Structure 1
Amino acid sequence: MTSNRRIVLTSDHTAIGLRQTIAVHIAAQGWEAVDIGPTTPESTPYPEHGAAAARMVASGDCRFGVILCGTGQGIMMAANKVKGVRCGVCGDTFSARMIRQHNDANMIAIGARVVGEGLALDIVDAFLAAAFEGGRHAPRVEMIKALEA
């Protein structure tokens, strides 16, 4: 893993509390939580938030991104439009681990209306603890990158 210990976090209005809980959780583990999400409950567009976080990951400013909306799906779709980002929605720890190990994902999306706080923290932990395995998975990740060209 790179020495970059910064993780960008964002969400729409539906996931402010869970996002802030995750930020505290990862900071306690020695990560620098860069929270760029909204702080008030007025409706806010998830595509803007997902893209902003994705740009920070794609630029190398942050090593990883954790993004949230109601289902995780919409914000994930927006993030994946940014070149260099590989983000998946995870509602379980197995998927969170696998998208790092097999897909070299650099962002994870979580549905705040889908998973509870305890599971969300476990999902983030599984994602951050895993490392890309390379090997037989590397050519497939290169194929994904080639689609951006």
Structure 2
Amino acid sequence: MKSNPFSPPEAAVSEAEPGKRRSIILSFASGLLVTAAVYASCFLGGTIFMLSIANSLSVSDAEKELASLSWVLGFWFTGGSIVSGFLGGYVCARMSRRSEMELGFSLAASVAVLGAGLGLADLSANSGVPSITFVVVALLLGALVGAKQNRES
């Protein structure tokens, strides 16, 4: 007991952890970076595939061959966007360890706006809207899986 009866009582106040806010920003940026890197790798792989086919043929034969393989490239790019979205959401959720779904929603919205703004998908009903929808759903599923694994560990 203190000698001064009028002094206020001591309280155990812990300082706020300064790394928490950085962790959220870092996890969001990492999720965005993973999404962009995986999609860019898939895009580069598809481009190299197309160029390797077109390089060995004449121009007219290359056009015919690439037109016949357009469905393969469509599956390749759609699959790449789904995988990149899932991995980006998963990385974002696992790194944040709190508010995983809120970060997943914000990451999905950011990727959708960036994808539409950069013209990666023309916003026609045939290709753009389903492509962005697949990425958003994959991002949210990745964030959900990451959040469940955070709760288990």
Per the TM superposition, whether the score is higher than 0.5 is: no
TM-score between the two structures when normalised by the length of structure 1:
0.25
Larger radius of gyration: 2
Relative contact order higher in (CA < 8 Å, ≥ 6 apart): 2
The structure with more helix, counted as a fraction of residues: 2
The structure with more strand, counted as a fraction of residues: 1
TM-score between the two structures when normalised by the length of structure 2:
0.24
